[in-house]
Amino acid sequence: MQVPVLKQRDYLIASIQAALTDADLLQLRDALVEQVGRFRSRGVIVDVTALDVMDSFAARTLRDLAHMIRLRGAETVIVGIQPEVSFAMVQLGLTLEGVATALDLEEGLAFLDKRLNVRRRP
Amino acid sequence: MASHEIRVPINSDIDIVIARQRGRELATQLGFGSSDLVLIATAISELARNIVLYAQKGEVVLSLIEDGGRKGVAVVAHDEGPGILEIERAMQEGYSTSRSLGLGLPGVKRIMDDFHIVSETGRGTTVTVRRWKP
């Protein structure tokens, strides 16, 4: 299952729609790392609201994704981690160290605007 | 004892998703809460991935279990792969034989109620975990 990536202003928004296989996750990582250059994006939002499970592989791949995109000169924020998923991650000892997270898409956009010093018209 | 048994062959990463979804469906039948459902699904995901990573193929057997009035879900992850050379080390936090990827076994042990592992070098590995309904 491919993850649709939406380009909005300087940002790329990837909304995970369903459970992803390991290969899907790696493909998403590589696609975003490439598209940041192609669209000269400054920020990336990965919406994981629909993700039912965040296991060690998913956590590691999202961490890698964020770090690779930072090396490409853009910022990543992971949004929409569900309460039960956050609980399971803590129990398993999985972290997204060094990766920005936000409650939802709206908060993710606000985070990027602030981080990248983007001024919006009121 | 097992009233219901689901066998999921594990041959590729797609099967990891199938196994954890089947496990979640089974646990839902028993009325587990949403947090427990995610824990169970995550444990299945880790166990199934170990099969794909270290043994290439194997199977995950999911069943509903009963013991003295309490009910739960059992997950048996079995493979005939190389086996784990040093189980004690594999059960230590942060242990990893495959680059930056840990086996995830200590985490799985922590989130399930019962954890049992049998591994023989060259013969394979069987991990049995159970989660009882609170």
Report pTM.
Answer: 0.90
B70 and chain A in contact, CB less than 8 A: no
Alpha carbon of B30: minimum distance to chain A alpha carbons (Å) = 18
Residues in chain A with CB shorter than 8 Å from the CB of B20 are 19, 52-53
CB A69 within 8 A of CB A45: no
Residues of chain B with pLDDT under 50: 1-2, 97-101
For chain A, what are the domain ranges?
A: 5-120
pLDDT computed for residue B101 by the predictor: 41
Residues of B in contact with A20 (CB under 8 A): 17
The pLDDT of residue B103: 60
- Give me the percent of chain A exceeding a pLDDT of 90: 83
Tokens of B115: 């954890």
Distance separating alpha carbons of residues A105 and B72, to the nearest angstrom: 37
What are the backbone dihedrals phi and psi of residue B94, each rounded to the nearest 5 degrees, phi first?
80, 0
> pLDDT tens, A17-26?
899 999 999 9
Closest CB to B39: pick one of A21, A83, A91. Answer: A91
User: Which pLDDT does position A117 carry in this prediction?
Assistant: 85
> Which residue from B55, B14, B45 is spatially nearest to B111, judged by alpha carbons?
B45
Radius of gyration of chain A (CA): 14
CB of B18 within 8 A of CB of B8? yes
Over residues A29-58, the mean pLDDT reads 96
> Is it the case that residue A105 has pLDDT exceeding 70?
yes
DSSP letters for chain B: --SEEEEEEE-SHHHHHHHHHHHHHHHHHTT--HHHHHHHHHHHHHHHHHIIIIIS-EEEEEEEEEETTEEEEEEEEEE-SS--S-HHHHTSTT--SBTTB---HHHHHHHSSEEEEEEETTTEEEEEEEEE--
Say what the pLDDT of residue B97 is: 45
Tell me the chain A residues in contact with residue B37 when contact means C-beta distances shorter than 8 Å: 84
Strands A43-47 and A75-79: parallel
| A16, A22, A48, A67: best to mutate for the B interface, most B CBs within 10 A | A22
Residue of chain A nearest B17, judged by CA positions: A21
d(CA A5, CA A18): 14
Residue with tokens 């299945």: B44
- In angstroms, the CA A35 to CA B36 distance is 37
Look over chain A and give the mean of its residue pLDDT values, rounded to a whole number. 94
Class at the top of the CATH hierarchy for domain A5-120: alpha beta
What's the complex ipTM? 0.90
Half-sphere exposure in the Cβ direction for B130 (13 Å, CA): 14
Q: Which two tokens stand for residue B28?
A: 């839902």
Check residue B99 and give its pLDDT: 37
**Cα gap A69→B46, rounded to integer Å:** 26
CB of B118 within 8 Å of any CB in chain A? no
Query: What would the two tokens of residue A61 be?
Result: 């791949």
Of A21, A56, A92, the CB nearest to B14: A21
The predicted structure's pLDDT at residue B4:
73
Instruction: Write out the H or E segment, with its range, that includes residue A10.
Output: none
Tell me how crowded residue A119 is: count the other CB atoms within 10 A of its CB. Answer: 6
Q: What integer pLDDT is reported at residue B24 of this predicted model?
A: 97
User: Would you state the pLDDT for residue B131?
Assistant: 97
What are B122's two structure tokens? Answer: 């060259």
Residues A51-60 pLDDT 10s? 989 999 999 9
